[in-house]
Structure 1
Amino acid sequence: MSCPSQIFTGFRALGFVSNHIPLAVRHHQKHKENYVVTCVGKAFHTYNCSRLGIVSVSNLHPDQITCLAVDAYLVFTACNNVIYAYTRGREVAHTFTGHEKSVHCLLPFGRHLISVDELSCVCVWDIATEECYLEMQFDNSCFRVSAAIHPSTYLNKVLFASQQGALQLWNVHTNKLLYTFPGWGSAVTALEQAPAVDVVAVGLSSGCVVVHNIRYDEKLMSFTQDWGPVTAISFRTDGHPVMVTGSPAGHIALWNLEEKKLQSQMRDAHCSSVTGLQCLQSEPLLVTSSPDNSVKVWIFDQPDGGGRLLRQRTGHSAPPTKVCYHGNTGQTLLTAAQDSTLRSFSTVHDRLDRSLGRASYNKKATKRLGLKNDTYMMPPIIDFASEPSRQSDWDSVIACHRGKLMVTTWHLQRSTMGSHHLKPTEKQERRQTRAVCVAITSCGNFGLVGYSSGHVDIYNMQSGLHRGSYGTPTAHKGAVRGVATDGLNQVTITAGADTCVKFWKFKTKELMETLTLDCQISRMTLHRDSSMLAVALDDFSVTVVDIDTRRTVRIFAGHTNTVTDMTFRSDARWLITSSMDSTVRTWDLPSGRLIDCFLIDSAVTSLTLSPTGDFLATTHVDDLGVYLWSNMTLYTHVALRPLAADFEPQVMDVPSTSRRSQGVIEEQEDDREKEQYVESDFKSPEQISNELVTLSLLPNSRWQNLLSLDVIKERNKPKQPPKVPKAAPFFLPTVPGLELMFAKSTDDDKEEKTTSDVTIDRLLPLSAFAQLLHNSKDEIDYGTAMEKLKQLGPSAIDAELRQLGPDAGGSVELLVDFLHMLSYQLQTNRDFELTQAYLGLFLKLHGDTVATEPTLVEAAGQLQEAQSATWQRLEESFNQSLCLVNYFKSAVL
């Protein structure tokens, strides 16, 4: 199946940290390090606890991961009804199939694995053999399994909990029910083994936590939290008798087991439910995860025994609304989301990601109240603009918020919200007015704001003062849909819902010209270097305007729904547009034609192309991530032809968080099998790989100057005639050579030299190489002929190829055989440089004959196809390698 896009291919996704699947913590004994495993949809991430740095990203699953578990060696994931066991955090070591429904619970149990599906079918697997040796079926109406644990020191025993509230202790070796606990009248949502033997903690949907002794079926103590069901339970093992519980409200409670009371609360630990919670072994640290796309590490060093946030890794907790590249390096992305936050993502490394905070009317009050109870939070950002020119001096980002007149500024280097709230001077006249679009000048000194009332104001970014307005009294009769300035601060361009694009003098604010379009304007984008202005209309078409001549130069029609965003390539040859029809289209401005189009399952809300042209970044409806698409034209040859009018776009899968192949996971060998090396003498193969070419390793003098033999012979021609040696007695034959030596003649020599030899030589004029070509019937003979040719010097090779022609005693059939030999060499990918040199010399000597003979033309066509296929593969490898080398040379870490 061909790629849905000729230009773009999925690279990787940014901004994903965790989802609703609880985290898992594993301890690596060799590294002496704890690792946190979180789920991000179809893949899972592994972080180290020391810095929360990402260690590995798994391969992509066929569907969403439904549950996660770990042991000392493997990571287990369930995808629908299939279970995978990973080693090294990314390689599939085992696959378990047999469930009919999706698996929602996994429990590693020694060398076994216990899994539970939605039908409450429990399977016990042998991890090494991938066999299910025990299967138990529970009735969902009576006992729907919701959790399972292996009690410490209980051999072959597993405790199952149900949504009906009852618990059952089973021996999975003998398949016997040992005991049934009646429960406490509420569904069990969490189970956890306590540090004490025979004691488990049971979390209920009523908010009650019961610490129970399963050996004597005795309730030791119980606690009740007021925040809803218990979502997770963990125990501290660093010498403090403390139990930690999570809640759907994002709060965490710490219970003192000795005093049987609430010790401390960690309110607003997360913005959403605390689904994952784990205390690290013998350390005063707690790791939590939540569907708010965050993982946090807490340290218990507060006076009341509570936890303090030590480190965290977060992403947007709500879908992004706008994405834009900042600066000219193409390494920094700015994103605004519906959670009212502004974030900076790095395309180089995740450790460079930063959060600029959440928009607030009063930052000091927000810090005092906390994010959860913040009453000063501003609505989400709907549009922003950035400029790096003066970012070290003052605020370099300006943003407008949904339904608000106030415009905020942000300081990127300090990673914080700015000190200015930009408002017009006549606030009383604009009570129902809201800011809808913003722009910032190329010098970074001024910010422009367009309002729903038709006003366009300009502010000073350093002082935040109002510096004037465009129009008397308004710039447009309807809402302003776009505002921009040229690169020299000479012209200001505004677009409104009144179908007008107006050009103003930046300093005097006088109207220069008005361009009226056929339909209302929805948005606009300016490319300053080329003076090209893209205007999206409500009829789903895009109009390109030249702001120098102020005329329409292109009109692109093809979208079937509202255009959501537009971006130019750095040289303004491409215009890339996205729409609510879930298509991304690439238009060629010089030809005015559509050259690329592909579909995405979720519509694009915003997109931007990097200044270097290497990545296209997109955000999507109801999606927390930012997706990067690689521009294939930078490292491979792409034939960009206009698409037909009836072209049907294909759906392209969004990339995963891994930079590796986006294909479905495949089984690979286990680490122990890879470490079993066989000691043997190394022997270099004739051909390294079918995807590469192998050189002959002959000296360059044997093939590099074949096309210049005539020049070399002319240059080396002696200037003086050769001297005649002194005459020897006519009856003494001499041996040819540098020294004068007499040859000893024998009677045998006289007998061997007869006239019949001369006759035979004249009847067989072909050389040994020509005879091999003449007798060649299969590929083995072609290899023998090539080996014969490799033994000759440059002059001998030239003579051999000349003798193949009809004028020198050869024939057309010999020329055809020689072309077939070269085609065979290209197919085997061996002796690549020799093949090219021999081909060049052959065409130089017999080019005219090849052009006149039909059989030679046909053979030359086959050779051309083989040559093109081989060189295209090499060119792709060369371009990709050069692209990586240039990227590593220019990357600033």
Structure 2
Amino acid sequence: MRNDFVRVNYCDSFYIFQVKKLGIVAVSNALPEDIACLAADRMLVFVAHGKLVTAFARNKEVVHTYTGHGADVHLLQPFGDHIISVDRNNVVIVWDVQSEDEYLQMAHDKASFEISAVMHPSTYLNKILLGSCQGSLQLWNVKSNKLLYTFTGWGSEVTVLQQAPAVDVVGVGMASGLIVMHNIKYDESLMNFQQDWGPITALSFRTDGHPVMAAGSPIGHIGLWDLEDKKLIGQMRDAHSTAIAGLTFVHAEPLLISNGADNAIRVWIFDTPGGGGRLLRCRTGHSAPPTKIMHYGQNGQQILSAGQDGTLQSFSCVHERFNKNLGHGSINKKKSKRKGLKLDTMKLPAITTFAAETARQSDWDGIIACHRGYLIATTWNYQKTSMGTHKLEHERFDKNRALNVQATVVDVTSCGNFAVVGLSSGHIDVYNMQSGIHRGHYGDSKAHEGPVRGVVVDGLNQLTVSAGADRLVKFWKFKSKELIHTVTLGASPSRTLLHRHSEMLAISLDDFTLNVMDLETRRIVRKFPGHRGQINDMTFSPDGRWLVTAAMDCTIRTWDLPTGAMVDCFLVDAAVVSLSMSPTGDFLASAHVDSLGIYLWSNKTLYGIVSLRPLPSDFEPSVVVLPGTCPVQDDVSDEDIDTSSDTMIDYVSKEQLDEQLVTLSLLPDSRWKNLLNLDIIKKRNKPKEPPKVPKAAPFFIPTIPGLMPQFAALEDPSAKEQSKVVNFGVLAQKSNFFLQLEDAWVTNNYTTPLQLLKDLGPSAVDTELRALAPDMNGALEQMQAFLRMIGTMLDSKRDFDLAQAYLALFLKLKDCPSQALSFWNIPLLQGSGTGCI
């Protein structure tokens, strides 16, 4: 079964997707610059970034780099063993792929022929076809560097050149919307098509037997043209919300792959009777940067994200197949479907903030959001992956719509039954999430005299806390809506965040400081200055010990609440607009200015020992590269690494900490603890019954082995009888340990025999010590050498446990008390070991 893959570049790397499921198969290593264009042949993937062309092998590793262009490269064309590149200075260079040498360079005058497209016509050996902004085409032989033919063109800029399934026929797409099927062998136009949606951005032809051509447009529509009947047979309107960047029909299959600037890849299948395509599968993300992100659920696997494109999406931290798109907010979904994507006047603007609770998500909507410049707060259903049924708005604004009031903050109670909405007019309303009915408001007329900047409800639905631009923090009873306490802040608050388990309320102020308030005592317990810009978002760690904040000064700071100190701070390239720590505490998610993705930061304290010492107030953070989708090689040498960093280095203990301390051998206990009990162990393991004599074996006449069996000849009775005297010298072989002791007696270096003894098992050690005795072919000098080895061990205080065990076994085997050691004249042992025996 054939597997088809598609490669898509994004920023400084490219992704490889499997067409079957649109799952990511591989991600290339990152490049120092954004990728301008991408091409591939059977073995390599070529990318242009800046003035360089790079070749990747195995979809990940850079194997070749081609240097020589004086301007940015914008066109690439694989050409057998060569790669053709075109830069903005109108210079064409043909490179040898393997040697990276420049094979040919051609320079064209931009005034007469500015190259805008390049292709290799099928079956045309050593030929390339160039399209220009002036509308003309040129056919070149790159081997001889000769211009073979010039096509006059059609008076419009050539945007696309695509080989048709028929030989000699090329599809030419132009900026005027004209599509020409041209025979380059006879310089004849076979047919013309006019597309009214603007310039042609992409062309592709079906190769499964149907004469159909697909053409892309800058407004996201795809046109389907029948090449046999020469007519338009279908329109795929709003295939993408932005311009079509690429179209490719899968070889010999009715599948069309499209991608656009809306950060989406879609696969269309053509199986309908009318010849049109329907959406088979897609991979989408935000087409505009996110504005607010938040972890959804208690497992930390889903991240809700609201983008400037007006959509609410859910991204999985586990696998892309669990991603969900909850859609775009709309005032009237039925009318929006009838009007279409482009003419939808019922669309709601982007979501500015939202709140979510999973307690009753299976019963009714569990997400509430407020939109930029809109009074209405909308509900969303995660289970149905769509916008909810309620639009929360108080009737007090029905008569006067010119007040320019908008919803600013929202919160959902922990039980999932109620939603609290704060407005720019100072009102705070409570709604039922199941029915959408208004259930009351705080304050006689208004809760605050200015816009509400924050509103939270505690975990038991007993207390509601609100913060307004009037610098007041007010405590309300949730049920009776009665005001019970007020705290005045030093500056206007910008946002609030409550950790419900610890009842700690974090408040960011307009003077770039942070206040942490205890809801039980209703007092400010911590104040954190340090940020040099507006604080964009905050998040608590699951245990409530850390408060992580991000501001427009491009810093992410971690504050330790028990100590009241900043324990971590680092800079990023782009300011963070929103962040969220997972309920499990393993990842921190962040969204950044002008970035479509969501970045995940790993919590290092879960995987190793990290020193979290307080940082000084004048601490200057270092810039940290944003997390990527692939590993990046650091160019920092070992000499440039700051030894004062917070990274903990694994400590390697010395072999001996101090000469005055006793050091053990670290050998298993079974190697030395039972040396004195070997005789008991042998007696215990002795069989209960004596071994039985085997039955008499039957008599067999000896035979000589061979192909034909023959009986062996009888021995000559007159042969001389062998001697029965045994030579015991053969049995008196000395062991390696014995020989090493002899050498150590002369050199006074006992390292080798000690290591040999440490490698032996208990029974072998017992045998070696027994062999030292003179009656076992040993010698008195070897016994003295062994005791001197023990004395060396005791004097150095190393392998102390082995020295004690070996000496105890030696004394037991020789039946010698410790007082008798002095008769062997071993002064080293007497000086070091008498207190240790």
Q: Is the 8 A contact 1:541 1:559 kept in 2?
A: yes
TM-score, structure 2 length as denominator? 0.79
The amino acid of 1:220's aligned partner reads: L
Question: Which has the higher relative contact order, 1 or 2, with Cα contacts under 8 A spaced 6 or more apart?
Answer: 1
Query: 2:796 maps to what in 1?
Result: 815
The question of whether the paired residues in 2 share the 8 Å contact of 1:769 and 1:788 is answered with: no
Amino acid at match of 1:705: D
Is 1:406 aligned with 2:376?
Answer: yes
Give the residue type in structure 1 aligned to 2:596. Answer: L
Corresponding residue SS for 2:176:
coil
Judge conservation of contact 1:81–1:101 (CA < 8 Å) in 2: yes
Match of 1:494 in 2: 466
1:619 and 2:619 matched: no
Aligned AA (2:566): L
Match in the other structure for 1:100:
70
| Matched ranges for 1:780-799 at <5 A | 786=755, 789-791=758-760, 793=762
Deviation for aligned residue 1:844:
13
Aligned twin of 2:817: none
| Matches for 1:500-649 after TM superposition, within 5 Å | 500-649=472-621
* Correspondence 1:390 to 2:360: yes
Contact 1:278–1:288 (Cα < 8 Å) also in 2: yes
CA shift in 2, pair 1:599/1:259, >3 Å: same
Cα gap change, 1:80/1:839 in structure 2, threshold over 3 Å: closer, same or farther?
A: farther
Change (3 A) 1:842 1:272: farther
Partner secondary structure for residue 810 of structure 1? helix
Q: Cα distance, 1:104 vs. partner?
A: 1.3
TM-aligned CA distance change 1:840 to 1:475, over 3 Å: farther
Q: Distance in 2 between matches of 1:703 and 1:406?
A: 74
Paired residue type of 2:421: V
Does the Cα contact within 8 Å between 2:468 and 2:493 map onto a contact in 1? yes
- From 267, 285, 301, give the equivalent of 1:297: 267
Partner of 1:446: 418
Aligned residue for 1:271, secondary structure, equals: coil
Where do residues 212-231 of structure 1 align in structure 2 (5 Å cutoff)?
212-231=182-201
Counterpart CA distance in 1 for 2:299 and 2:742 is: 62
Task: Go from structure 1 to structure 2 and tell me whether the alpha carbon gap of 1:222 and 1:342 turns closer, same or farther (over 3 Å shift).
Answer: same
Preserved CA contact (<8 Å) 1:398 1:440: yes
Match 1:704 to one of 668, 678, 696:
668
Query: In the TM superposition, what is the alpha-carbon distance from 1:243 to its structure 2 partner?
Result: 2.2
Q: Distance in 2 between matches of 1:283 and 1:746?
A: 90
Q: Deviations over 1:204-252 (max 9, x none)?
A: 1222222222112222222222222111111222333222211111111
Instruction: Give the structure 1 partner of residue 641 of structure 2.
Output: none
Q: Does 1:32 align with 2:2?
A: yes
* Structure with larger Rg: 2
Distance 1:811 1:613, change over 3 A: closer
Which moved further from structure 2: 309-318 or 69-78? Answer: 69-78
Encode CA deviations 1:612-658: one digit per residue, 9 max, x unaligned. 11100000111111111111111121111111232211111112234
Give the 3 Å change call, closer, same or farther, for CA 796–252 of structure 1 in structure 2. same
Contact 1:803 1:810 in 2 (8 A): no
Q: Is the 8 A contact 2:673 2:805 kept in 1?
A: no
Q: Which residue of 1 aligns with 2:111?
A: 141
Post-superposition shift, 1:494? 0.8
Offset at residue 256 of structure 1 (A):
2.6
Q: 1:367 to 1:115 in 2, by over 3 A?
A: same
**Separation in 1, partners of 2:362, 2:10:** 36
Q: Post-superposition shift, 1:472?
A: 1.0
CA offset at residue 307 of structure 1? 2.1
Cα deviation for residue 807 of structure 1 reads: 12
Q: 1:75-90, aligned counterparts within 5 Å?
A: 75-90=45-60
Unaligned runs of 5+ in 1: 1-30, 666-689, 694-700, 720-743, 753-763, 819-837, 846-893
- Provide the C-alpha distance between the structure 1 equivalents of 2:19 and 2:228, rounded to a whole number of angstroms: 29
CA–CA distance in structure 1, aligned partners of residues 64 and 563 of structure 2: 53
- Aligned-partner SS, 1:65: coil
Give the whole-Å Cα distance in 2 for the aligned partners of 1:520 and 1:594: 23
Paired letter, 1:287? I
Contact 1:43–1:656, Cα closer than 8 Å, also in 2: no
Return the offset for 1:354. 0.6
Q: 1:468: which partner in 2?
A: 440
Question: Distance in 1 between the 2:151 and 2:194 partners?
Answer: 20
CA contact (8 A) 1:804 1:810 kept: no
Distance 1:747 1:711 in 2: 29
Q: Retained in 1: the 8 A contact 2:133–2:156?
A: yes
Q: CA deviation at 1:432?
A: 2.5
Q: Please tell me whether the aligned partners of residues 290 and 306 of structure 2 are also in contact (alpha carbons under 8 angstroms).
A: yes
| Structure 2, unaligned runs of 5 or more | 636-649, 654-664, 684-724, 733-737, 770-781, 807-837
Aligned to 1:342: 312
Q: Cα deviations across residues 674-704 of structure 1 (Å, max 9, x unaligned)?
A: xxxxxxxxxxxxxxxx9999xxxxxxx9922
Aligned-partner Cα distance in 1 for 2:81–2:148: 22
SS at match of 2:244: coil
Give, in angstroms, the shift of residue 72 of structure 1.
Answer: 2.7
1:173 aligns with 2:173: no
SS in 2 for 1:92: strand
Task: Name the CA shift for 1:37/1:495 in 2 (closer, same or farther; >3 Å).
Answer: same
| Cα deviation, residue 38, structure 1 | 0.9
| Equivalent-residue separation in structure 2 for 1:60 and 1:772 (angstroms) | 65
Output the CA distance in 2 between the equivalents of 1:303 and 1:405.
46
- What's the counterpart of residue 316 of structure 1? 286
- Give the Cα–Cα distance (whole angstroms) in 2 for the partners of residues 337 and 253 of structure 1: 29
Counterparts in 2 of 1:789 and 1:444: CA distance versus 1, 3 Å: same
Q: Contact 1:345–1:352 (CA<8 Å) still a contact in 2?
A: yes
Partner secondary structure for residue 415 of structure 2: coil
Q: Deviations over 1:224-283 (max 9, x none)?
A: 222221111112223332222111111112223333333322221111110101122222
Q: Does the 8 Å CA contact 2:674/2:762 hold for their aligned counterparts?
A: no
Q: Distance in 2 between matches of 1:202 and 1:303?
A: 29
**Aligned equivalents of 2:425 and 2:579: distance in 1?**
27
- 1:275-330 residue CA offsets vs partner (Å, 9 max, x unmatched): 10112222222111101000111223445433222221111111100000011101
2:167 to 181, 197, 212: 197
What is the DSSP-based 3-state SS (H/G/I as helix, E as strand, rest coil) of the residue aligned with 2:524? strand
Q: Go from structure 1 to structure 2 and tell me whether the alpha carbon gap of 1:176 and 1:796 turns closer, same or farther (over 3 Å shift).
A: same
Distance between the aligned counterparts of 2:222 and 2:454, measured in 1?
A: 46
Q: Distance in 2 between matches of 1:440 and 1:542?
A: 24
3-state secondary structure, aligned to 1:426: helix
CA deviations on 1:144-199 (whole Å, 9 max, x unpaired) are: 22111111111111101122222111111121111112222222111111122211
Contact 1:107 1:113 in 2 (8 A): yes
Following the alignment from structure 2 to structure 1, what is the Cα–Cα distance between the partners of residues 365 and 568?
A: 38
Q: Secondary structure at the match of 2:605?
A: helix
Paired residue total: 719
Q: In the alignment, what sits opposite 1:91?
A: 61
For residues 595 and 218 of structure 1, the distance between their equivalents in structure 2, rounded to whole angstroms, comes to 73
Counterpart Cα distance in 2 of 1:708 and 1:69: 68
Verify the 8 A CA contact 1:595 1:643 in the aligned structure 2.
yes
Q: Name the CA distance, whole Å, in 1 between partners of 2:746 and 2:523.
A: 71
1:373 to 343, 355, 367: 343
Report the Cα offset of residue 200 of structure 1.
Answer: 1.0
CA distance in 2, matches of 1:298, 1:184: 32
- Compute the RMSD of aligned alpha carbons: 3.7
User: Are positions 1:47 and 2:28 aligned together?
Assistant: no
1:109 paired to 2:109:
no
Q: CA deviation at 1:112?
A: 2.3
Structure 2: distance between partners of 1:402 and 1:773? 89
Cα distance change of structure 1 residues 305 and 614 upon mapping to structure 2, 3 Å threshold = same
